[in-house]
Amino acid sequence: MLEDDNLSSGANDIDDVGDGSVTVGSEEYGAISSDSSLSASTFDTADTAFTTSFQDIADESDVSFESRNFLELKAAIDGSTEDGSYSQTLTFILSGNF
């Protein structure tokens, strides 16, 4: 997964999470994965910022139609966050491991 740029509205953006937890009342944005076995990123252990480089958000090695992974996006604002319509493009690439 990768982002095109920060979550933004014009010249304003929501800061990337930097402390491992998106906290109410602090301007932060990030995500956490339901996959608890990632070795190439921190998305499985902490709220993590998106970057413009590819990062693993899930990895499945079992042949199973029952397995489900999800990514929980989190955003918080503070009193200095400017009003606006914030957006960004996130790119997901799925690949098979055969």
Average pLDDT, 10 consecutive residues per value, the chain (98 residues): 95 96 97 90 93 90 75 95 96 80
Residue at 86 is within a domain: no
| Contact (CB, 8 A) for 77 and 27 | yes
**Position of tokens 């906290």?**
23
Residue at 49 is within a domain: yes
d(CA 65, CA 81): 42
pLDDT of res. 51: 95
User: What is the count of structural domains for the chain?
Assistant: 1
| Pairing state between β 90-91 and 2-3 | antiparallel
Residue at 73 is within a domain: yes
pLDDT of res. 42: 92
Tell me the residue range of the domain where 22 lies: 1-57+67-79
Hey, what's the torsion of the CAs at 38, 90, 32, 45, to 10 degrees? 40
Residue at 89 is within a domain: no
Residue at 48 is within a domain: yes
Residue at 87 is within a domain: no
pLDDT of res. 86: 97
What does residue 31 show for φ and ψ, rounded to 5 degrees? -155, 165
